Structure 1
Amino acid sequence: MPRGQKKRSIDDYFSNPKKAKAGETSATGGWEKSTNGDLLVYQKNMSSSEKIAGYDMDGTLIATQSGKVFATSYDDWKILYSEVPGKLKKLHDSGYKIVIFTNQAGIGTGKHTVEGIQKKIESIIQKLGVPIQVFVSTGKGEYRKPAIGMWNFFQNEANGGVEVDLDKSIYVGDAAGRPAEGKKKKDFSFSDRLFALNVGLKFYTPEEHFLDVKTQAFNMPDFDPREVDASLPLYDPLTTKVPGHKLEVIILVGFPGSGKSFFCSTHLVPLGYVSANRDTIGSWQKCISLMEKSLKDGKHVVIDNTNPDLDSRKRYIEAAKKCGVPVRCFIFATSKDHSRHNNKFREFSGEDHSKVSDMVFNMYKSKYVEPTLKEGFHDIVKVNFIPHFKNKSEEKLYRMFLLEK
C-alpha cells in the first residue's frame, strides 16, 4: 500500500467507493476516472432509473469484425447480432437504464490505451443508438468482475441516489461458464455469471437475451465460497492435542492463502510455539537455526512454510531428529481455488498480505507430494479452514465469488 494512502475497510467496499476528483476527466468528453485509476466511467451523471439492463461488452454487444478472438485494432468490431440495437431501444423506451460493465485489464498492462478504448466505446454507443452509461475496469483489483466494485460505484455514485430494483433488473454476458459444444469452445471464464450472482441480478447469455434461445447449459466453479463451513472441527482427528508432546516440532503443509499463518498466530504461538517462517526470516537455513536454538531453549517450534515436497520437509525432520524431538505434520485441507479465493479476499479487505500470483499456486500444486508417516512424522493431522469474520460486511464479501476462473 502506498505511503500515506488510507487503508480501506470492508464497509468502504460496499458503501463508500473511491470518488473521482472534481474535474478529473480524460481528454474525451463525458469520461471520468477513479482516484486510484482502475475505473473509467462514461456519462456518470446520466439520468437514473430503478430498472437496469446491464451488459458486458466484448462477446455480448459486439464481436470482432476480423473473426479473431481478440480485436486487431480499436476499429475491429461489429454489433454481435442484428437484434441488439432493437432490443436495447425497446428496453430504453420501457424505462430501463442501459449500462455496460466491462473488464479491460489491457489498459492496466499497457496493451491498450485509455484513449483507444474510450473512442471505441463511444463509436459503439453511437452505432447502437441509445443512451448508455459505461463502467470500465482497467486493472485486476476490486472493480474487475466478478467482484462488484463497478456495481457499487454505479449504485452509490452514478445513479442519482435511486436504489436499483434487483427483481426488475437484468445482466447479460458471455463469460457464463458454458461447456464446449460441437465446434463452440467453452466460455473463457465465469466472470459475468458470477458478477450477476454476486449483485443479485437475473442473468442471461447473449443468445438467451437477444435470440430467445432456451436456457443454455453451464457449469459453476469447483469452489463455492457460500459453502465454506464455519462449524467444522479445527482438527481431524478430533482427538488431536496441542501440544502433543513435552517438546515438539510441527511442520505445516498447505497452499499460500490456506490459513497457515493465521492458524499459527491464533492457535500455536499463544501456547509458546516459536514460528519459523521463511518469508520473514529469509531462508530455510535460518529457519533450521531458529528451530535448533528454540528446541535447546525448551520451546516448541512450528515451521510456517508451504512445504509441499519431500525435500522441503526432510531438512526439518532430520534437524529435529538430531535434537531428539518428535515431528508432527499439519496438513491444511484448503484447495487451490479456496486458497486463491482467500488471497483475493485479503487483497480486497486491505489486509497487509502480498499478492500471490497464479504461477505460485500452480508451482505448489506441481511440487506437492502427500505427506506420509514414512517420512519420519510421529503423526499427521488435517487442519480444516474455519473462517472468522469481524463483521457482517466482511462475511458478505467473503461469501461472494471473487475468482473469474
Structure 2
Amino acid sequence: MFGFLKRKKRKNEAAEVQDEASQESTAATKAGDATPAPAEPTADTNLSAPPAPEPPPEMARPAKPAVADEEPAAEPEPNGDSLRQESVAQPAPPSKAPAVATSKPEQSGSLFSRLAKTRSGLTEGLGDLFLGKKQIDDDLIEELETRLIMADVGQATTAALIAELTDEVSRKHVNDPEHLFETLHRLMVERLEAAQPAEPPARRQPGRPHVMVVCGINGGGKTTSIGKLAHRFKAEGRDVTLAAADTFRAAAVEQLISWGERNNVRVIGEPGRGDPASVAFDAVSSAKARSSDLLIVDTAGRLHTQSGLMDELGKLIRVISKAEPEAPDEVLLVIDASIGQNALVQARQFNQAVKLTGLIVTKLDGTAKGGIVFAIADELGLPIHFIGVGEKAEDLRPFEPRAFVDALLDRQPD
C-alpha cells in the first residue's frame, strides 16, 4: 500500500482512539461530581463556632530542620557550562531496538528522501481524497489529472495515462481508489522502462577507449556531472580521461581540471585554448595512446535556439569520428529538471542536431517538477542513464525506473 494512505489511516485510527478516551474521561468526571451529600450535624457539633483558619502558604510545608555547624550549600549558577555538563552526564536510556522516530534518518540520503518535493506535489491531499471514497468517480480522476500536470508530467503524457486508467475502470479491471493508484504506479513504471535499454551500457570497447560526449546548456550542471561521472568510473577501477572542450568559458576548463585533480584522472586541455574540436581530437588521440578505458568530453554550454553553436557541436562530433571512426559511443544531454517543460524542448532540439543516445537529469532533489522525465521518455524515447539528487559525487546515480516511481508516489515496502 502507498505510504501516504497508510499514514492517513493511522492518523484516523489514532483520532478515533483519542475520541474514545476523551469520552471515557468525561464520563468518569461526571461520576466523580456526584459525591454523597454531607451528613446532618449531631448534637456534639458546634454550629456557632467559626471554621478553623487555613494555615498560610508558608506554613503548609514544614521547614527543613537546620543542622548545627553546617553551612548551606551554594546553589550552582545556571550558566551554559553547567547546563552542558548536566546534559552530558545524563546517560541515554538503554534501548534494545531503535525507536520508530529514528528509522527515518536511515533514508536521509535515499532516493525517497531526495524526491520529497516532487512527491509532495503528487500525493499531498490525495490521502483524504482516496480514503474518503469507496468508489471511483469523475472528481477523483480529475484531481489525479491535475496533480500529474502540476508535477510537469506533461499534457500529452498525462492525457495518455488518464485515458489508460479510465479504460481500466470501464473494463472493471479497477474497482476501488486504492487499486486505481496501484494501476497508475504500474503504468508509470512501464512508460519509463520502455525507454530504457534492456541492460545498462557496459561502456567498454575492445582495443580503444569508450568515448562519451556530454552536452547541455550553461547552468544545467554539465561540467559538475562529468566530474561526478569520473568519480564513479574511477571507483569502478577504470582508467578515465577528461577532455576540456568547453573552451568558450575559462572557468569551465578550470573546474574540470579541479575535478581531474580530485579524482586523480588526466585532463586534456588548458585555459586559453580556442578551438574545442582540436581539443577533442587531441583527447581521443591521447586516450588511445594511453589505453584509457573511457574518455568523457565536456562541450560548451549552448541554448538549443543558438543555431551557430549547435552546428559547432555537430562539427566537434564529426572531428571525434575522424580521430576514431567508431566514436563517439554516447552523446548524453544534461538537463535541469527544475526548468520543467523547457527541458523537453531542449531535449527535442539537441536530439535533432546531434542524435542523442541518452540523458542525465540533474537537480531532481530541489524541484517539484520531477515528472518531466515521463514526458521526455514518452515523446522522445530517450533513456535516462543518470539522475542528480544532491551535491555530493555519490549523488549522481544510475536511473532505476521502478525505484524512481516508488519514491514519487510514496510507495514503500510494507
**TM > 0.5 between the two?**
no
**TM-score, structure 1 as length reference:** 0.31
Rg (Cα) greater in structure: 2
**TM-score, structure 2 as length reference:** 0.31
Larger RCO (CA under 8 A, 6+ residues apart): 2
- Greater percentage in strand: 1
